[in-house]
Chains A and B, each alone.
Chain A
Amino acid sequence: MTSFLRSLSPEQQVSLVFVVLFGLLMLASGVSVLLSLRERRRGEVDDVRHERLQDYQALLRSSWLMALVFWVGWAAGEGFAIVLFGFVSFFTLREFISLSPTRRGDHRSLVLAFFIVLPLQYALVWNREFNLFTVFIPVYVFLAIPVVSALGNDPQRFLERNAKLQWGIMVCVYGMSHVPALLLLQFPRFEGKMAFLVFFLVLVVQTCMLVQHVVARRLDRPVAPAISQSFQWRSWGAGLLAGGLLGAALAGFTPFKPLPALAMALIACAAGSLGHLVMKAIKRDRGITHWGSAGRSVTGASGLLDRVDALCFAAPVFFHSVRWNFNL
């Protein structure tokens, strides 16, 4: 199997991944249609079952969307992918800032964050300035933002306001920008195939989150019930296991051998699921169930940040583990 995959050209390998992925999605959508038909035929409405079905359909819709975005990203090349993730950063930071009260004195810092820091960080990715890209936000922006805020001449809750803004930038811009940065790493004998690494990361992290949520429904021993119902040691372990095994199984698509692939997948899953837990704690603190339009939208649509927060934490950890372990 592995040798067959290695014998294909990069283009063929990517195409194969997409064929498999869209095949699986179509299968899942077929199951969803059958389930909803069965529900309708039965006539009586079972609330719990109905709710589960709706959850499942929402998950399917976002999976379809993500898969389509990746397909377009692959078809249009690296430049497009960088711009795309730049927009994801923009919209997630917008959600984050909307729910973290700022004052008038923060206006200039917000302008700086959205219109200077964000494009610069992605420009650094574009130019492969990996050293500067790694320290730009934690070192330089870390100072610049509070300086601009201080010049706004408003000491009230200064630390709190700045800490929130810094956090938003770290998660939504710094974390997210490591995803397209993976595309530009240069593995020996793996040129032109770095899209697989992005794909690998997204797939193992999403699988881990999915398995964790599904398993948590069957158990009922949350570690921190005030923050998350789905974070339980056993469900977390199950998620890690599923993500890790999937990673090992996907080794043929990556520059890793199966064992390092397992290790890399485990690292990404651990960082992603713990990051998701942290973001949940922030949401509970703000008293909301999800990011997005004021956290109380009529349509019930949840925010973009809910879907990508695990990725924001997994990407930097994964990126640097890969770089250091393989001396890139």
Chain B
Amino acid sequence: MNWRAQAMGMFLLGLVRALTGAQARWYGCPPKAEQRIYFANHQSHADLVLIWAALPTELRSITRPIAAKDYWTASNFKRWITTAVFNAVYVERERKGDEDPLQPLIDALGSGDSLIIFPEGTRGHGEEPQPFKSGLYNLARRFPDVVLVPTWIHNVQRVIPKGEVIPVPVLCSVTFGEPVKLGADEDRADFLRRSREAVVALRDI
């Protein structure tokens, strides 16, 4: 990592902490350097920054967030910050041709990285997260040894709502729950419903 990215990382970390506290609450599992997929509710583009800031330094360097390609590569600055600072994995939100949109995630998991994903696929509007898309299930099938950690991000949409530029200070927290396991013959719909419930359950802890 070059010094500019490092300085930017420090600055962002300081900013996020001053504005939100970026408190991590490890409820169902300890922070541990095993290969994991953190799957979280998605309400704001700042979600990615908040989870990144809430993770301890040791885990931050081995955990890569997923970034929507159309939004995060729209300008040179956004592209630089997601690549150099967050070390993000880009995904297409729309399926293009016969390319598997999960391929970049499969590559990243194959090389041993942990991932942060938002299985709703798009930012939600209401209180409840939208139904999960099947990407989480496919990854879980393909990599049975990766630990799946449900994650609830609290309050971020208040920091910077859609369409606003200036963030305001509101305390936010990231709650990590008990890992979810995919049953040997569990079907797709059941698993997705169960993992979504695991995320929602963390809201009221």
Contact = CB atoms under 8 A, between A and B. Distances in A.
Given A107-B164, A111-B166, A102 B171 contact: no
Nearest to B160: A107
User: For this complex, into which size category does the number of interface residues on chain B fall?
Assistant: 10 to 19
A294 B154 contact: yes
A102 to B, nearest CB: 6
Contacts of B164: 107
Interface in A93-149: 93-95, 97-98, 102, 104, 107, 110-111, 114-115
A234 to B, nearest CB: 37
B55 interface: no
Contacts of A107: 161, 164, 168
Interface residues of A, number: 19
Contacts of A95: 171
A98 B158 CA distance: 9
A211 B131 CA distance: 54
A98 B25 contact: no
Contacts of B154: 294
Contacts of A111: 166, 168
A293 B166 CA distance: 22
B170 interface: yes
Nearest to A297: B23
A99 B81 CA distance: 32
Nearest to A115: B166
Contacts of A76: none
Nearest to A292: B171
Contacts of A102: 158
Given A111-B166, A293-B23, A297-B23, A104 B171 contact: no
B171 A293 contact: yes
B169 A294 contact: no
Contacts of B21: 94, 293
Given A111-B166, A297-B25, A298-B25, A94 B171 contact: yes
B183 to A, nearest CB: 30
A318 to B, nearest CB: 28
Interface in A50-86: none
Contact of A98 (B27, B155, B161): B155
Interface of A: 90, 93-95, 97-98, 102, 104, 107, 110-111, 114-115, 292-294, 296-298
7 smallest CB-CB distances across A and B, nearest first, come from: A98-B171, A110-B168, A94-B169, A104-B161, A293-B23, A111-B166, A98-B170
Interface of B: 19, 21, 23, 25-27, 154-155, 158, 161, 164, 166, 168-171, 173, 205
Given A97-B169, A296-B205, A298-B25, 20 more contacts: A94-B19, A94-B169, A94-B170, A94-B171, A97-B170, A98-B170, A102-B158, A104-B161, A107-B164, A107-B168, A110-B168, A111-B168, A114-B168, A114-B169, A115-B166, A293-B171, A294-B23, A294-B155, A294-B173, A297-B23
